[in-house]
Structure 1
């Protein structure tokens, strides 16, 4: 039975479309964002669900050119370290573009704050729910950016302690993501790693169990 609280069909289809067409972008063009757009994206991030209403997200807007270069060098170092662990896929990995730090209009570092241990509501047995909450905030930004026609890329190739030191973060805080945000010439038709034949996405049936864990056959 259709819910009486359902949105109009066109509104529902818009939501499904933006989810389907969201992309983790690596290629940007340098035009600045329109006035107020970055604040809109951060506002919807702040509207994300969070366990115990702890809002465990902090956003650092990086505008200093030298600091951007330092962050880019951290990513490059981790890219090399990751490549060294990939054995026969090393050269293939090094061909992938993994960030757009120098080209994007806005650079945001997303972090967990210090003092999270005082929030026990919903975290006593699952302390990583703070990370889950921050991930919801980033997803809100991602979907809103795509609806605005703006690219967003989540960069996770960095050493957290080194990035925290660069940004003068408190000792108990933790950087989670480097977000590259900006205009793009076009969105990838498929996720970039699929287009570059790094891998293929599995369908939901591969991950759906009933009542008990049922490992799927890989044959």
Structure 2
């Protein structure tokens, strides 16, 4: 609850607080969700083509091994929130991502690991968790003690991709103008 409290103190556009947390305590529900995520993992591997085998070797979810599983979803009827969303309706998702980051940082400060699972069909997770039809599941969080934290993101260590240099992500006055001196 301390981590959820930290999440709930996150900034949100228009103070809409669009996040909701479903704590998954039923072992059968966790098994069903895991089976669904595992199938989506296979589907993702197939979509990756020549990187499929490399992908399948990565540890990308720990739903059965972790202490807690939480589903994070966006509330329904979000169209009623116009403040800060009139031209950018996706700010509800950005606000919920801030809440998840607050959760993650609070957990990390206490030595607890968090994994963000995103390989799922939102409609299936919505159905499994009996969420309102107009809500949107955005994350499955796997939370628990870990033996050790990676010294860098696991996907970076495994050379799935590399962290971009600051000069590649900060521009001056116009997109692509890399006149930045670091």
Alignment TM-score, normalising by the size of structure 1 = 0.79
Which residue does 1:45 correspond to in 2? Answer: 7
Which residue does 2:40 correspond to in 1? Answer: 78
Superposition pairs for residues 120-159 of structure 1, below 5 Å?
120-159=82-121
Alignment TM-score, normalising by the size of structure 2 = 0.95
Runs of 4+ residues deviating >2 angstroms: none
Return 5+ residue gaps in structure 1 as ranges.
1-38
Q: CA deviation at 1:196?
A: 1.5
Return 5+ residue gaps in structure 2 as ranges.
none
1:208 aligns with 2:159: no
Q: Larger RCO: Structure 1 or Structure 2 (Cα < 8 Å, ≥ 6 residues apart)?
A: 1
Which residue does 1:55 correspond to in 2? Answer: 17
- Structure-2 separation of matches of 1:201 and 1:131: 24
What RMSD, in angstroms, separates the aligned Cα atoms of the two structures? Answer: 1.0
Which residue does 1:66 correspond to in 2? Answer: 28
Which residue does 2:74 correspond to in 1? Answer: 112
Q: CA deviation at 1:200?
A: 1.1
The higher radius of gyration belongs to 1
1:160 aligns with 2:118: no
Q: CA deviation at 1:199?
A: 1.5
- Structure-2 separation of matches of 1:133 and 1:107: 21
Which residue does 1:24 correspond to in 2? Answer: none
Which residue does 2:158 correspond to in 1? Answer: 196
**Whose strand proportion is higher, 1 or 2?**
2
Which residue does 1:7 correspond to in 2? Answer: none
Q: CA deviation at 1:215?
A: 6.8
